[in-house]
């Protein structure tokens, strides 16, 4: 009897060990499977390549269209922004690119890498260096890149059109209260889809408010050197006033004696973040107190993120900022052009 009990005890123990081992092996396999799924790259590569002019080395290089979009969106908008805002930025970036390509607007390649002329473009390697310096972890960076890749895939081929034609999808960082009408900035040209619209933005944007101090001598010499005035005595300087406002409330011109100088030119000359400013002036110089960042035309990126937090989709965000537009498939636009 004792021998039988001992035998049963040994068998039971052995079976328990086997069950435990199998459970551990199964758990390990599941863990490995999950890790592999997490490590899998998102398949976002496009079938199309573009010719990118690299301004720094004066060369044209062929890059995958979706890789270009990844680099542009990541360069132009923080990956921490809401997913729907990133999708909107992706559609805007793709529209901006195809407007250049379809209308042959570039002398070198399809598009360039200079943000002053096209869209900001940094390679992913360069961006990762920047993000690491800003304190982001490798996990955060990977998640951010994947977020943008998903936005590219989710909006594949989507562009913005007006009356069946691709638009010039302008955008900027921040314009609290209202965006600007294009005609107020560029030669009075009326662009029906780039109208001033109400805008809501988060108050915590770091560049929402800024100040620029310019000494009297620097102000005077800069305007003279650039041909805006002939001379500027101290009394005339102190009488400087706002000449005119735009419909959105930004400064259109600054009156300096008998001269009227466009605020957009002042923004460039003195590094102002926008033309939405007030100023204080005394004998020593002028202090510009600036609200927002950028020319103010088209989509506000901070606004897009704010609206996305409030529940807006990327399509709703685009329709808010670009008046009377449609979101179309670029292949359909290209097909129509070929049929004409």
Model confidence pLDDT, tens digit, residues 275-314: 999 999 999 999 999 999 999 999 999 999 999 999 999 9
Q: Mean pLDDT in the chain?
A: 89
Residue 122: Cβ within 10 Å count: 17
Q: Quote the number of domains for the chain.
A: 2
**Domain presence at residue 126:** yes
**Domain presence at residue 39:** no
**Domain presence at residue 310:** no
Same domain, 101 and 141: yes
Q: Considering only 6-20, 64-78, 108-122, 307-321, which range has the smallest mean pLDDT?
A: 6-20
Same domain, 82 and 124: yes
**Domain presence at residue 128:** yes
The pTM score is 0.83
**Domain presence at residue 62:** yes
Q: Which of 78, 92, 76 is nearest to 152 (CA)?
A: 92
Q: What is the mean pLDDT of residues 235-245?
A: 96
Residue 61 domain boundaries: 49-172+320-339
Same domain, 221 and 166: no
Query: 288 burial class (0-12, 13-18, 19+ CB within 10 angstroms)?
Result: buried
**pLDDT value at 223 more than 80:** yes
Q: How confident is the model at residue 5 (pLDDT cuts 50, 70, 90)?
A: very low
**Domain presence at residue 76:** yes
**Domain presence at residue 313:** no
Q: How far apart are CA 248 and CA 175, in angstroms?
A: 10
Structure confidence at residue 96 (pLDDT): 95
Same domain, 246 and 156: no
């Amino acid at each position: 009897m004792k021998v039988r009990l001992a035998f049963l005890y040994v068998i039971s123990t052995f079976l328990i060990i086997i069950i435990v081992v199998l459970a551990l092996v199964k758990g390990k396999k599941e863990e490995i499977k999950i890790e592999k799924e997490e490590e899998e790259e998102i398949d976002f590569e496009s079938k199309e390549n573009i010719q990118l002019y690299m301004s720094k080395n004066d060369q044209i290089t062929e890059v995958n269209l979706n890789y270009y979009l990844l680099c542009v969106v990541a360069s132009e908008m923080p990956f921490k922004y809401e997913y729907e805002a990133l999708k909107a930025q992706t559609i805007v970036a793709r529209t901006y690119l195809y407007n250049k390509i379809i209308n042959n607007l570039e002398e070198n390649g399809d598009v360039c890498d200079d943000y002053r002329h096209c869209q900001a473009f940094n390679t992913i390697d360069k961006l990762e260096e920047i993000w690491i310096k800003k304190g982001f972890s490798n996990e955060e960076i990977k998640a951010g890149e994947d977020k943008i890749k998903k936005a590219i895939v989710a909006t594949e081929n989507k562009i913005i059109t007006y009356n069946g034609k691709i638009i010039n999808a302008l955008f900027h960082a921040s314009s609290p209260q209202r965006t600007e009408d294009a005609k107020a900035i560029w030669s009075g040209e009326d662009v029906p889809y780039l109208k001033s619209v109400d805008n809501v933005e988060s108050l915590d944007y770091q560049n929402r408010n800024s100040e620029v101090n310019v000494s009297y001598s620097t102000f005077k010499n800069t305007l003279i050197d650039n041909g805006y005035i002939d001379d500027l005595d101290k009394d005339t300087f102190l009488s400087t006033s706002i000449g005119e406002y735009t419909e959105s409330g930004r400064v259109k011109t600054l009156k300096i004696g008998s001269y009227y100088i466009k605020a957009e030119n002042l923004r460039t000359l003195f590094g102002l973040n926008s033309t939405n400013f007030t100023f204080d002036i005394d004998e020593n110089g002028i202090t510009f107190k600036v609200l927002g960042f950028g020319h103010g035309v088209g989509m506000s990126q901070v606004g897009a993120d704010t609206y996305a937090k409030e529940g807006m989709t990327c399509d709703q965000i685009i329709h808010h900022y670009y008046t009377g537009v449609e979101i179309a498939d670029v292949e359909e636009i290209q097909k129509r052009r070929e049929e004409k």
